[in-house]
Structure 1
Amino acid sequence: MENRNWSDLPLELLATIAESLGIIELLSFRSVCKDWSSASATASAQIESSKEAWFLVYGESPTCECLLVSNSGEKHSIHIPDLIGSSTTCLASTHGWLLLFQNGGSIFFFCPFSRAKIHLPKLPFSEITDHVATFSSPPTSENCVVAVISRSSESEELEVNMLQRGADAWTNHKTSCPLAALGAVKGAAFYEGCFSFFDSVDKLVRFYVESQDWGFFRLAVAPREKRPPEANGLEFIPRRKQFVSLGMDKRLGLSEDVSISTCGTQVSFCNVDEVLFCETIDAAESSKTSHLKGVWIQPRFFQVSPTQSW
């Protein structure tokens, strides 16, 4: 029987294999040769979408490497230049895409595994403090809407900057919001035309895209099967202190002089909608030597045209 080189496999077969791979295997598959990379052009590592979010560490790194931790605890070192340095911060993570902000107001969607980018119009501010964001659907969707909310622990005003697909400028929406009605925003989600923003306790505020109205609520967390029928799909299960509860500091091997801030995400797992909150974990030692950033992400592989625009 004649032996054939792996590089001679039919492209149709290669494409079928690529579609069945997870993100790490897909990245390795694509690096074999040009033919294998071309054959996997439509592969998206969708197999990972049915699993819990993974954790990506980025920011200050002398080796210019990011660290990806799977939901099973496996660690992978990945070179992602766009996520190295202190000037880049992730504001949102959902649908396998990150929303990245860079000092000066630059903001863009980014798939860290394919390096795909979609640039957005500059935000009306050049620095971020307590900003949290989310978006309604993948950035390639025609009905994608982005919302960036700002609410410090001392301000009586809540401000949302919103951008709809195809728009060339952000719209600004403000409302008076006593601290008793909502603390500092730590989580965000979108459902059926409505952005929901959560504080660290039990309050949430909703912003309705079409009417541009605000609503303030107290979050009643109950098992899904015990909720009234009209509440199904409208409430999310919040997962606060996810970094701590999973012992991510030990899994990452962080020393006690390292602090880390995380960006949360919105995920659907086992037919349950969940919101993983943003967190700030201070160094155990009083004198910290470095500060890292992390983001919860569903690891997917997306490619867009180099000319893809918002």
Structure 2
Amino acid sequence: MANWEELPQDLLKLIAQRLAIEDFVAFGAVCTSWLSAATKETYDAKSKAPWLVTIVCQQMPEICSLSRGRTYPMDSWGTEVMTLSPPGWLLAIRTREGRSYMAKEYRIFNPLSRASIKPPNLEKLRDSRVRPPMILQRFSFSSLISERIEMSSPKIERMALSSSPSLSRSYAVMISLYRECRSLWLAFYRLGEDAWREVSPATHPPLSSMHPPLTDVVQLIYYDGLFVALDTENQVTTLNESESRMELRLVLEPKFEGYPYLVECSGSLLVAWDTAGTEGNRFRVFHVDLEKGTQEEVKSLGKASLFLNYNASFSMDFDAASCLAGFKPNHIYFSHYVEKKIYSMDSGKVETYSDAIGYSHAGQWFRPNF
């Protein structure tokens, strides 16, 4: 019998490039020679079908391959995960019970390489633009001694990466945060720094207001060298890192009742509005030009399709070289509560994506990458 370890490396790399992600991982586990061919340099994300990451309360997340109809457990450090941009990375979340409060701990995690990164401590953040954390008095009737309890600590609402931490030594991270009874605010740090830097909003509320409202960030991505945010006032802003503040680029019009998603597609920045009308979910897609401060409606995605998530969305191009069975070009894949839906840009119709995993848990589209 031939010695499989002695196959030429060039041949092994060609084979590895054409494998589905599940087979790619198994390929590297065969032997040392095959593992050396199944590296991040060999990995071809364009030929790999996306997964769904599902979460069941207080259980470890699962990775669902809809094309295979199989689920795989994910050892993600935390029991909650959130997709990140660029693809391949997740924010893993673990709840820690303190003496008098519940706190969140976070890791930036890659399930493919199993790399894990701990971001700076959130507790060091101090936001002077909003009220201090809620304090509750708890009384012990036996001793009549009151104890101050901090009922909330900062929590990450959304996160974006400037580049893959495994491929860059100068990546930056931006987050939006919240506390109970407080509006969201922004912060970021760059690799090598030991603390978050708070970011000033693009527009400041009037000083006459005792507790001025702040616009909530609904989308946060990294695009074309810039962190880009979209808020509840339809303002598209970008980070001026040197001054730690957001700069207004444009205000989207019209304002729909549904939910907007920011996503990069074929080198362009798009906003996809889920209008959630009475006739079902109908999407309106616009191309956003940050330099000109303009927007233009897009009627077709061409050979691309969008995969939309609450935190981080992505697009995929479909061509003859792609191995993406079960997925179609010029469509929008999204979740509606626990159902997976598809919107056709051609017909305007919404269909339910076949639930190959056998149950209906809320899922996030995930594109594995290094």
For Structure 1 versus Structure 2, the TM-score category normalised by the shorter chain is: 0.5 to 0.7
- Report the alpha carbon displacement of residue 278 of structure 1 after superposing the two structures with TM: 10
- Report the alpha carbon displacement of residue 148 of structure 1 after superposing the two structures with TM: 0.5
Structure 1 position 295 matched with structure 2 position 364? yes
What is the aligned partner in structure 1 of residue 311 from structure 2? 264
Distance 2:274 2:215 in 1: 16
- Report the alpha carbon displacement of residue 60 of structure 1 after superposing the two structures with TM: 3.3
Larger radius of gyration between Structure 1 and Structure 2:
2
Distance 1:208 1:295 in 2: 30
* Residues 20 and 48 in structure 2, CA contact (< 8 A), matched pair in contact too: no
- Report the alpha carbon displacement of residue 25 of structure 1 after superposing the two structures with TM: 2.0
What is the aligned partner in structure 2 of residue 224 from structure 1? none
Distance 2:275 2:51 in 1: 12
1:45 corresponds to which of 43, 51, 54: 43
**CA RMSD between the two structures:** 4.5
Distance 2:92 2:161 in 1: 12
What is the aligned partner in structure 1 of residue 337 from structure 2? 281
Distance 1:138 1:91 in 2: 13
- Report the alpha carbon displacement of residue 139 of structure 1 after superposing the two structures with TM: 1.5
Q: Point out which structure has higher relative CO (alpha carbons under 8 A, 6+ apart).
A: 1
What is the aligned partner in structure 1 of residue 226 from structure 2? 194
* Residues 109 and 139 in structure 1, CA contact (< 8 A), matched pair in contact too: no
Change (3 A) 1:279 1:270: closer
Distance 1:280 1:183 in 2: 25
Change (3 A) 1:196 1:67: same
Letter in 2 for 1:79: P
Change (3 A) 1:65 1:133: closer
Letter in 2 for 1:58: I
Unaligned regions of 5+ residues in structure 2, if any?
96-102, 126-151, 207-211, 255-264, 283-308, 319-331, 340-359
* Residues 183 and 203 in structure 1, CA contact (< 8 A), matched pair in contact too: no
* Residues 59 and 84 in structure 1, CA contact (< 8 A), matched pair in contact too: no
* Residues 13 and 42 in structure 2, CA contact (< 8 A), matched pair in contact too: no
Distance 1:199 1:280 in 2: 21
What is the aligned partner in structure 2 of residue 209 from structure 1? 241
What is the aligned partner in structure 1 of residue 84 from structure 2? 92
What is the aligned partner in structure 2 of residue 118 from structure 1? 117
What is the aligned partner in structure 2 of residue 251 from structure 1? none
Distance 1:278 1:201 in 2: 23
- Report the alpha carbon displacement of residue 154 of structure 1 after superposing the two structures with TM: 7.2
Structure 1 position 185 matched with structure 2 position 217? yes
For these two proteins, the number of residue pairs brought into alignment is 256
Distance 1:83 1:9 in 2: 36
Change (3 A) 1:49 1:241: farther
Change (3 A) 1:97 1:84: closer
* Residues 154 and 179 in structure 2, CA contact (< 8 A), matched pair in contact too: no
Task: Tell me the TM-score normalized by structure 1.
Answer: 0.63
What is the aligned partner in structure 1 of residue 189 from structure 2? 163
Task: Tell me the TM-score normalized by structure 2.
Answer: 0.54
Deviations 1:92-112 (A, max 9, x none): 342322233433453332111
* Residues 89 and 100 in structure 1, CA contact (< 8 A), matched pair in contact too: yes
Distance 1:295 1:4 in 2: 43
- Report the alpha carbon displacement of residue 4 of structure 1 after superposing the two structures with TM: 1.3
Distance 1:153 1:240 in 2: 27
Distance 1:33 1:136 in 2: 34
What is the aligned partner in structure 1 of residue 63 from structure 2? 67
What is the aligned partner in structure 1 of residue 270 from structure 2? 237
Letter in 1 for 2:366: I
What is the aligned partner in structure 1 of residue 172 from structure 2? 145
Change (3 A) 1:16 1:128: farther
Change (3 A) 1:173 1:43: closer
Distance 1:137 1:215 in 2: 21
What is the aligned partner in structure 2 of residue 77 from structure 1? 71
- Report the alpha carbon displacement of residue 298 of structure 1 after superposing the two structures with TM: 1.8
Change (3 A) 1:159 1:264: closer
* Residues 172 and 191 in structure 2, CA contact (< 8 A), matched pair in contact too: yes
